[in-house]
Amino acid sequence: MLVPVALNQAYSYRVPRGMELKPGDVVCVPLGPREVVAVVWAENANPDPRLHNRLKDVGEKLDVPPLKEELRTLVDWVANYTLSARGMVLRMCLRMGDNLGPERMRVGVRLVGEPPRRMTPARRRLIDGLSDGLLHAKSEAAREAGVSTGVIDGLVDEGTLAVEVMPPPLPPPAPDPSFAQPDFSRQQRTAVDAMRALAANGSFHVALLDGVTGSGKTEVYFEAIAEIIRRGKQSLILMPEIALTGQFLDRFANRFGVKPLEWHSELTPRTRARNWAAIAAGQAPVVIGARSALFLPYANLGLIVVDEEHDQAYKQDDGAHYHARDMAVVRAHIAKIPIVLASATPSVETEVNARKGRYQRVALPSRFGGQHMPHIEAIDLRREAPPRGRFISPRLAEQIGHAIERREQALLFLNRRGYAPLTLCRACGHRFACTICDAWLVDHRFRQRLVCHHCGFSMPRPPTCPHCAAEESLVAVGPGVERLQEEAASLFPQARTMVLSSDLITSIETMRSELNEIAEGRVDIIIGTQLVAKGHHFPRLNLVGVVDADLGLSNGDPRAAERTFQLLNQVIGRAGRDQGLGIGYLQTHQPEHPVMKALVACDREAFYASEIEGREKSGYPPFGRLASLIISAGDRPTAEGFARKLAAIAPIDERIQVLGPAEAPLAVIKGRYRFRLLVKSLRNVDLSEYLREWLAAGPKTKGNLKLEIDVDPQSF
Ligand code: ADP
Ligand code: ZN
């Protein structure tokens, strides 16, 4: 039995007489003082017979479909590759809501008799909630009335309530593959044919749907999905950020008549349980979800689509470190099904695979409906600087003015939350830093606090300098989106402005309604972080101003150029999608940088060519492999000492280099000192195996020492 906790090995349990179990069956087992859900991993593990008497019994067998071999293989594969505990990976497959699974939800209660003789406020609330006489799920009824299920049991004993079996929930409405097929352009038709062929073929195959922003990639991959629905199989669409998919859901409904099933962290336990059950029963033909949806137990998965495949959000960095796009390809391979990776700016890894012919490139080189790609210009901040203390250059400001006169929208993009990234004292030079992280505190004016973006620590902005006690000496240095809004409002007092930033969004619902307001034209100037870059279609937006185009380039990360190129291309791709000509301005101090030059010249080819050449020369992915080991501890010498010991015993292999230890890019987070070892190897090396052997022989982490292993790190 594999248990969904941080353990790698499977455990043996005794199967009670009369219970038949086969691999994949989902059961309850005792684990220490708890009962947990577990999955039968191997047939007849045949433990040592002397142990037999000490084995605990399997509890009950749950009434859910067994985990298919395909998914069990994926769990083993991912755990092995990422060096995570298998139980942790399994846990992602079993996120079936609180309680132990769908069948626990099926106990229902109904009001059937007279009120009890002894009435309490708790009983009153419960009875009021059930006054419609309908059957309610027991746990829901208790939760809604704010009482324990014991209160229900009492009323059942007295005959006021009756317990009944809940009927299984109705399957979600099925998408209709022929609901409304759009007219495709000639260019789209070729791509649609490729999508249908791939879906019809039904075997493992990777297609890169490589289409410029606004080319209609979504409409095109919908046809692969339509084909899969016709064949009675399930499709999974992975999205980087599920909160940003409101428009997508509408488009899906326009095409297929109903919305797809969603999977994300904000589902209520009840919806989660219901969706999980529908997915496992094969009743959810199309599922859209964030990366965790990859590990669900689909009954008959036929296709995976990874939208915006280059997006960083696919990398999961807590718990198991995995890249959902890569693991999606692995799942498709194991399940022998096709997979579509869609992007306007593929990751270098994917681009190389397409160039080498390992992935089929399906291209959409121009926008749908004859719209032009946005025109892009650089604004050289060395020559066209904004006034002191301001961040919008005169030329950009002028263009925003014109846009507003034309009743169009303008988008100001700055990938920085808050008001200002740094606060300092003019009198003594004191800078506000986090006490437990190696980071400045960011001024957040909406929240009226100085906040650490790494640990969440926050404090009010003091009236005087805590260091020299000078009054009114504190100044904000640099811009964040909140400060830009202030500037935009002072430049254009009549304009309606809106800030979109993840810290200001309280739920998926508010996010979706704010995006709606923009799409409906109720905002003139949108100021946003990377949230505004992703996938939106704002019909009245033609002008995008990138306030600090250099921001992502300076952090020394070898992927910085790729990321910046992707992000800027994507955000400027919001412009001119519907009518009129889109235009993007890049405010930069280095217009000669290859990223800026490629963007201005609309020369994607040149960018990839130079980026790929650089990676090949230096042996970085995908031409070599990397893993990073982060060693952290509450004090510096412990962390550093451990890292040195580990480095010293690294097995010698001429194909592998161990670099470091050096201070990790963020040297202190939450009071933990962090050191990093970077392991770099040739492409054909099994790096996971190397790491496993090395770490097995190495010193063990104890006390507050922590070792985090990241195979294929995204920043290094
Ligand atoms: P991308 O994802 O490639 O940026 P989208 O899929 O968002 O592009 O498409 C851009 C816009 O064009 C969307 O509003 C979409 O509904 C519309 N569109 C694309 N193809 C068609 C089509 N064949 N018929 C009608 N509208 C289309
Ligand atoms: Zn901090």
Contacts 24+ apart (CB under 8 A), 660-669: 661/631, 664/630, 664/632, 665/555, 665/556, 665/557, 665/715, 666/437, 666/438, 666/439, 666/454, 667/438, 668/436, 668/437, 668/438, 669/436, 669/437, 669/438, 669/454, 669/455, 669/632
The token pair at 670 is: 């939450």
Residues 339 and 409 in one domain: no
**Ligand with the closest atom to the CA of 221:** 1
pLDDT tens digits, one per residue of 271-325: 888 899 899 999 999 999 999 999 999 999 999 999 999 999 999 987 789 999 9
What is the overall mean pLDDT for the chain? 92
Average pLDDT for residues 539-560, to the nearest whole number? 91
- Residues making up the annotated binding site are 425, 428, 434, 437, 452, 455, 465, 468
| pLDDT value at residue 103 | 46
Q: Which atom of ligand 1 is nearest to the CA of 185?
A: 23
pLDDT, one tens digit per residue, over 122-161 is 999 999 999 988 888 887 888 888 898 889 999 999 999 9
Same-domain status, 121 and 251: no
Residues 629 and 697 placed together within one structural domain of the fold: yes
Number of domains observed in the structure of the chain: 6
Question: Would you say residue 169 has pLDDT above 80?
Answer: no
Give residue 284 CA to ligand 1 midpoint distance, Å: 25
12: in domain: no
Q: Are residues 279 and 262 in the same domain?
A: yes
pLDDT (0 to 100) of residue 24: 95
Instruction: State the distance between the two ends of the chain, measured CA to CA, in whole angstroms.
Output: 37
The answer on 202 and 327 residing in a single domain is yes
* Å from CA of 577 to ligand 1 middle: 9
pLDDT given for residue 270 in this prediction: 77
Q: Is the pLDDT of residue 490 over 60?
A: yes
Q: What is the pLDDT of residue 362?
A: 98
The domain that holds 328 is classified in CATH as 3.40.50.300
Look at residue 3 and tell me if it is in a domain: no
Domain end residue (candidates: 613, 637, 670)? 613
Averaged pLDDT, 211-223: 95
Write out the binding residues for Zn(2+). Answer: 425, 428, 434, 437, 452, 455, 465, 468
pLDDT in tens, 264-278: 888 888 788 889 989
Query: Which residue's CA is minimally distant from atom 2 of ligand 1?
Result: 217
Q: What is the ipTM of this complex?
A: 0.97
Residue 406: inside a domain, yes or no?
A: yes
Q: What is the pLDDT of residue 714?
A: 85
Q: Whose CA is nearest to atom 19 of ligand 1?
A: 216
* Same-domain status, 529 and 470: no
How many CA atoms, within 13 angstroms, populate the side-chain half-sphere of residue 401?
A: 11
Residue 1 lies in a domain: no
The reply to whether 426 and 406 lie within a common domain is no
245 and 302 share a domain? yes
Query: Which pLDDT tens digit goes with each residue over 25-38?
Result: 999 999 888 888 99
Predicted pLDDT at 100 = 46
Among 174-178, 545-549, 575-579, 589-593, the minimum mean pLDDT is found in 575-579
User: Quick one: 503 and 414 in the same domain?
Assistant: yes
Of the candidates 110, 155, 113, 151, the residue with the CA atom closest to the CA atom of residue 133: 110
- Among 556, 589, 613, which residue terminates a domain? 613
pLDDT(394) > 80: yes
DSSP state of 440: B
- Closest Cα to atom 20 of ligand 1: 216
Residue 491 — pLDDT band, cuts 50, 70, 90?
very high
**Nearby residues for ligand 2 (ion, Cβ within 5 Å):** 434, 437, 452, 454-455, 457
Give the pLDDT of residue 262: 93
Q: Which atom of ligand 1 is nearest to the CA of 218?
A: 6
Q: Please tell me the distance between residue 512's alpha carbon and the centre of ligand 1 in angstroms.
A: 19
Residue 681 confidence (pLDDT) = 97
Angstrom distance (rounded) from CA 648 to CA 628: 16
179, part of any domain? no
Nearest ligand (C-alpha, residue 215): 1
The ligand whose atoms approach the alpha carbon of 436 most closely is 2
Cis peptide upstream of residue 622 (ω within 30 degrees of 0): yes
Range 58-85 average pLDDT: 94
Report how far ligand 2's centroid is from the alpha carbon of 606 (Å). Answer: 40
533: in domain? yes
Position 38 scores a pLDDT of 92
Could you tell me if 494 and 570 lie in one domain? yes
Give the model confidence (pLDDT) of 408-417 as tens digits.
Answer: 999 999 999 9
From the list 223, 246, 515, the residue with the least C-alpha distance to 364 is 223
Ligand nearest to the CA of 539: 1
User: Based on the number of CB atoms within 10 Å of its own CB, is 445 exposed (0-12), middle (13-18) or buried (19 or more)?
Assistant: middle
Atom of ligand 1 nearest to the CA of 215: 3
Q: Respond yes or no on whether the N-terminal peptide bond of residue 661 is cis (omega within 30° of 0).
A: yes
Q: Examine the fold and report which residue of 578, 613, 648 is the final residue of a domain before the chain moves on.
A: 613
Q: Does residue 47 fall inside a structural domain?
A: yes
CA 411–ligand 1 middle distance (angstroms): 20
Q: Note the maximum CA span of the chain.
A: 85
Q: How many residues does the chain have?
A: 716
The domain that contains 661 carries what CATH number?
3.30.70.600
- Distance between alpha carbon 234 and the CA centroid of its chain, in Å? 21
174 domain-assigned? no
Q: How many Å lie between the centroid of ligand 1 and the Cα of residue 556?
A: 37
Same domain for 491 and 400: yes
Pocket of ligand 1 (CB under 6 A): 182-184, 188, 211, 213-219, 251, 368, 537
Q: Are residues 153 and 288 in the same domain?
A: no
In the predicted structure, residue 397 carries a pLDDT above the cut 90: yes
Task: List, for residues 330-371, the tens digit of each pLDDT value.
Answer: 999 999 999 999 999 999 999 999 999 999 999 999 999 989
Query: Whole domain around residue 388: which residue ranges?
Result: 375-418+478-613
Could you tell me the distance, in angstroms and rounded to a whole number, from the CA of residue 215 to the centre of ligand 1? 6
Tell me the pLDDT tens digit for each residue of 84-103: 999 999 999 987 754 444 44
Residue with CA closest to ligand 1 atom 10: 214
Which tokens sit at 373? 């790609």
